[in-house]
Amino acid sequence: MEVRHTRKDYMEKKVSHHDYYKEYVELADIRPQSIPFSVEELEEALNKDKNLNSIALRKWDSIGSRFNTSKVHKISKLKGSWVSQATLVCIAKTAARMKIGVE
């Protein structure tokens, strides 16, 4: 497994937030369609807040806890990063954006 975007790239703003976390979704084999909100719910939430914060954090935490964390940890190590609950939430929100075709 090889990563395109490192934590250093992200911190130096050489890669967008979306693209940095999109790589996690792709490499960890997370299917955007598995995000348990309908397209309509996600579009409505995105219209209210560009960061999807109108959906309760506890729901995002729950989604993130379902990911294959061993893969996510491996990807993080390759990126020169670590995994936190915030990492898992960012991955979940990125998968949700991918589900509705928003970059």
Provide the token pair at 74. 């491996």
Q: Residue 84: its pLDDT value, please?
A: 95
Task: Name the residue range of residue 80's domain.
Answer: 7-99
DSSP 93: H
Q: Residue 29: its pLDDT value, please?
A: 96
Q: Is residue 1 part of a domain?
A: no
10 Å CB burial of residue 31 (0-12, 13-18, 19+) is exposed
| Contact between 75 and 27 (Cβ < 8 Å) | yes
Q: Is residue 2 part of a domain?
A: no
Average pLDDT (35-49) is 97
Q: How many domains does the chain have?
A: 1
Q: Residue 60: its pLDDT value, please?
A: 97
| Contact between 70 and 1 (Cβ < 8 Å) | no
Q: Residue 103: its pLDDT value, please?
A: 82
Q: Is residue 52 part of a domain?
A: yes
Q: Residue 96: its pLDDT value, please?
A: 98
- Of all residues in the chain, what percent carry a pLDDT higher than 70? 100
pTM, two decimal places = 0.94
